[in-house]
Chains A and B, each alone.
Chain A
Amino acid sequence: MYTETYLGGGQSPASSKTPASASSILVADCGTVSTKVSLLGLVEGQYRLMARGEAPTTTAAPYQDITKGIIQAISEIEFITGRHFVSNGSLISPEQPTGDGADLFVATVSAGGPMRLIVLGAVTSKLEELAAQAVSGLYAETYALPAPSYLATSTPAPLPVGASAMASAGGGVQGRWTPERLDMEWERQLERIRELQPQAALIVGQADSAPGPTPLQEACQMIINTVEDPSDGSAPTAQGNAGKRQLPVLYAGAPQYVEAVRRMLDGYAEVTRVDTLVSHEQLGQTSMAATALYERDVIQRIPGYDHMRSWSGAAPIATPSSLSSLVRFLAQHYAMNVTAIDIGGTTTTVMMAGEHGEFIPLVNTGIGMGPNLGAILEKAGPRRVARWLPFRITDDELRQHVLNRMLHPQAIPTSLRDLQISQAFARGAIVLTVEAAKQHHFNEFDADLILATGGVLAHAPKFGQAALILLDALQPRGVTSMVLDRTMLISQLGAVATVAPIAAVQVNENDAVMHRLGTCVIPYGELPPGQVAIRVGVEYSNGRQVTAEVMSGSIEIIPLRINEQALLTLYPAPTVDVGLGPGERARAAEEVDGGLVGLIVDARGRPLVFPTDETERYARLLQWMQVIGA
């Protein structure tokens, strides 16, 4: 976990508009699969969400222009409002006396896909983890490729298999690094780089290991080979080497070799020096440099970027950067621990921010509900996905569902069966992302507020479905509350705050976090089977009192609607904990809020355990769904 104080966004305000006087703002979120545009405007002196539109993202062929999708989404807003915002392919700005046009345009982007970053040099497992953590808040993937000479001194040679085993049987010695084995490792790594087609490289490692500076030389050679690789058909020979691109390189290795590395990579790479990567405390500079690379080498290369950029005084920013600004703001403003979940088409993001500035972002770039749905099936396995379904399903049906969704990521489930399968995958996406986040000390964090967004949650037909997905997958403990952002605006409000902070705060409170699902009481510890796990005393604002006994293994909903408040008193069984220790009673210091689902008491136990008998499992799942209104 690293600590970072919220500074009100990571970008300077727009220069060409006057944010203070803006009465209308168009906010676009360009995702990999879909582009969402929201119109924010003044209603009785308060910024509110006026309308929103959605369209497929158009960065791919044959359109290859991100603005086409934005304009299509805006056209839906034009349909709803009767106002015009686009003329001749450009935005009308500022707002006209007729009501047409908007004063400001703000965009967040994740459409360019993740930045692939290769980690080279003397890469230890610790450095590999640090590199991954440094970019964990970005749409970035890291791939460690330790220098062959470093591998040779730090690990036994891998045993050859298949054809290569036969080929090396005469001369090779298994388990030892022979020159032939080193050559093979070189080739393997070059093949891997060719497969990955990285957008940047990070060189790490001190020079105090046995091979000295050799890993740095090898890292440089690897980069040179990558840049010179002609297998990419995009650059025409007619232009000679003019088409050769320079690979951006972040140098976080031994300081004394930085100039030597620059000389070696002259003409092949543009080297930026950052703090030597040695500990969790020194990730900041690498993280910031990687963010800059992402914005320059991924976002700015999106087709149509320049046109989109011309609509706004502020540069479009990465969606995770925007979300992180908002999550940190909420944590500090309300002095609480906030966990945000965003399930997108290609990524699943979990961000945790504490009231004291703690911040753990994790953008799981390989896991999503669209093109990356297959990764959930691959990583979780069909059984871990199917366990959430109250009906029998074959592995083939799951695979077919995944492949069809990968090929048509914009599709929505029209049948109940399809919907339940999608929601099972949503649980899988969160579970896998939380598991990844646990490597970054996620389990130290108990959220006071869970803020959820993303298409699969925002479009859930029933609030109970969204609540159950979050409870099943996050498995929170103690007392927490859940809010669903159906507007899918929270990921953009951080960006809005950079140009119009008042609008961001007002829209957040008035619209984005308006779907409060409810307060949740989640007893944990040793829940006595077949007995009452917890007794909950509820004293409503009007003085009415209710006491509910909740059996182990069940969920109960106590009516507590939106705009209702109540005082809670919790009486857990002797072996059951609600956050103060086993059997310790708890009384809320202040009233808790109601929600669209109600006061949820989830006494199913932690971790969730499913009946082994299939029929019993279906019955249990259906029972839980029925109780919570899913």
Chain B
Amino acid sequence: MTLVVVRIRNIEGNRHGCFAGGGKPMTYPLGWPVITQSLMRRERWPGGYNSRGVPLVRPGQEVQADQAVMILEKPDIAEAVTAFPHVVTPSASYAGLSPGGEGTQIDGRYMQETVLAGMRGQVVDITRRGGVMIETRAAVIQGVIGAGNQVAGTLTFWNAGSSFPLPGNQPAEAGVILVIPGPLNYATLRQAAGAGIVGVVASSISSRDLEDFLGANVMALINSNDVERAQAHLPPMSLLFTEGLGTIAMPARTINLLRRYHGSIALISGVTSIRRSIFPELVISLVASEVQQNWLPIQPDPTLTIVSRVRICSGSHVGVTGEINYFFTHQQSFESNVRARAAHLCLEDGSRLVIPLAIIERIG
């Protein structure tokens, strides 16, 4: 008995049997971790277990990224956090830092905190819990993994050897979101947390270093149903890793984008929930000069075509980027002997690689 598969040559295939640009779409993994122009709506909600928001703005109002949009009332963290599974490590507490963040204590149980918009745009709604929904034109970077609630801060590049920038002292002033354009380790994270940094964007980290810093089981953290509860006991510094776990460099394209917005106020969220399909993201609202009259958002097209720029997201070449220049008509065999649909990539260093479609994602 044989499998009957009718193979008729596709009229849109070129002489190599691959698709021409703009031809029929191929199987694609989800991708587009970097979008330079996007029109999006995000709820400004800094998280907080049993917290409630008191909005300071109303729907229809234009807001600036450094504008206070909400008073967050949250319970004392010691009462709020109870049962999320976490491992106890020496790093679970931070000298001089309260997991509840800075704020004013009211009636002995609630802390008040002023929340900046972090985005420039228009308020379109107020959510049931008091979150402020803002529509913004922004550049967006999606991370592979992260941790920590949404927080606004000033994007600040950090170079190895330099000291950590200190956050502003005014209550309403944005903190610092540190951009470290490479792999991160536990020691650097500790230093950043000790310096009061509110967020860190880096390329990658080992799972052990991440768990040691968070004092949490990362598998449980990203698989939790209750996102708010999962973030509740984490150190008060949001993390976003653009490439994921391991020791993977940050692509030049991402570094360039981040460098371009050095000094801008951005909104970082490290929340990662594979159950809820929530991934960390950095939203950088575009300034007025970038949003001209004919400005159009980029519609991310996930279709893989010839000349698509892609990133390898698994295996020994993880993190490598390149351009598709060939689709194989037949499945290809790999070192594992697994057979899969594949593409031929031209990498940035000029070398070439045959790679399964299932482990590449489109980045441009």
A487 cross-chain contacts in B, Cβ below 8 A = 3
Chain B residue contacts of A562, Cβ below 8 A: 1
Q: Check if B7 is an interface residue, CB within 8 A of chain A.
A: yes
A461 to B339 alpha-carbon distance, docked (Å): 7
Which residue, A197, A375, A407, A510, has most C-beta atoms of chain B within 10 A?
A407
1/0 per residue, CB under 8 A from A, across B1-30: the answer is: 101111111110100000000001111111
- Chain B residues contacting A561 (CB-CB under 8 Å) are none
Is there an interface contact between B126 and A406, defined as CB atoms closer than 8 Å? no
A232 touches which of B9, B128, B225 (Cβ 8 Å):
B128
**Which one of A50, A78, A230, A371 lies within 8 Å of B4 (CB-CB)?**
A50
1/0 contact string of A390-428 vs chain B (CB within 8 Å): 000000100110111011111111111011000000000
Q: Known contacts being A400-B246, A403-B207, A414-B336, is A408 close to B359, with CB within 8 Å?
A: yes
Q: Report the separation of the CA atoms of residues A258 and B219 in the bound assembly, to the nearest whole angstrom.
A: 42
- A51→B329 CA distance, assembly (Å): 14
Q: Mark B332-364, 1 if CB is under 8 A from A, else 0.
A: 011111111100000000000000101100000
Binds A, one of B159-167, B283-291, B311-319: B311-319
B359 touches A411 (CB 8 A): yes
In the complex formed, the residue of B with least CB distance to A417 is B336
Min CB–CB distance B248 → chain A (angstroms): 11
Which B residues lie within 8 Å of A88 (CB)? none
* Chain A residue nearest in CB terms to B358: A412
Judged by a CB distance under 8 angstroms, whether A129 is at the interface is no
Instruction: Contact check, B131 vs A82: say whether CB atoms are below 8 A apart.
Output: no
- Is the beta-carbon distance between A195 and B226 smaller than 8 angstroms? yes
Q: Does B125 contact A (CB under 8 A)?
A: yes
The segment from A54-62, A205-213, A264-272, A572-580 that touches chain B is A54-62
Q: Check if A374 is an interface residue, CB within 8 A of chain B.
A: yes
Over the window 184-207 of chain A, the binary record of Cβ atoms lying under 8 Å from chain B Cβ atoms (1 yes, 0 no) is 000010010011110000000000
For A262-303 the 0/1 string (1 means CB < 8 A from B) is: 000000000000000000000000000000000000000000
Instruction: Give the contact-size bracket for chain B.
Output: 35 or more
A324 at the interface (CB under 8 A from B): no
List, in ascending order, chain B residues with CB within 8 A of A66's CB. none
Q: Are B59 and A233 in contact (CB under 8 A)?
A: no
Distance to closest chain B CB from A516 (angstroms): 9
Interface membership of A151, Cβ < 8 A: no
Contact residues in B for A532 (Cβ distance below 8 Å):
none
Q: Is the interface of A mostly helix, strand, loop or mixed?
A: mixed
CB-CB under 8 A for A80 and B7, given A377-B219, A413-B338, A414-B334: yes
CB distance from B174 to the nearest CB of A (A): 22
Q: Within the assembled complex, what's the spacing in Å between the Cα atoms of A413 and B318?
A: 12
Bound Cα distance from A414 to B339, whole angstroms: 9
* A195 in contact with B229 (CB, 8 Å): yes
Digit string of A215-239 for contact with B (CB within 8 Å is 1, else 0)? 0000000000000001111111110
- B residues within 8 A CB of A233? 43, 45, 127-129, 131
Is residue A113 contacting chain B, with contact meaning CB distance below 8 A?
A: yes
Asked if A411 contacts B126 (CB within 8 A), the reply is no
- Asked whether A82 and B9 contact (CB < 8 A) given A238-B125, A371-B275, A408-B359, the answer is yes
B99 within 8 A of A: no
**A56: contacting residue among B24, B30, B303, B314, CB under 8 A:** B30
Partner among B29, B133, B222 whose Cβ is within 8 Å of the Cβ of A406: B222
Q: Which residues of A contact B (CB under 8 A)?
A: 43, 48-51, 53-56, 58-63, 72-73, 75-76, 78-83, 113, 116, 163, 188, 191, 194-197, 230-238, 243, 371-372, 374-375, 377-378, 396, 399-400, 402-404, 406-416, 418-419, 459, 461-462, 487, 510-511, 514, 562
Lowest 7 CB-CB distances: which A-B pairs, in order?
A: A60-B277, A461-B337, A411-B314, A82-B8, A374-B219, A195-B226, A419-B336
Q: Could you list some 12 contacts between A and B, CB below 8 A?
A: A43-B4, A55-B27, A60-B30, A75-B27, A82-B9, A238-B126, A407-B222, A414-B334, A414-B359, A416-B336, A511-B3, A511-B4
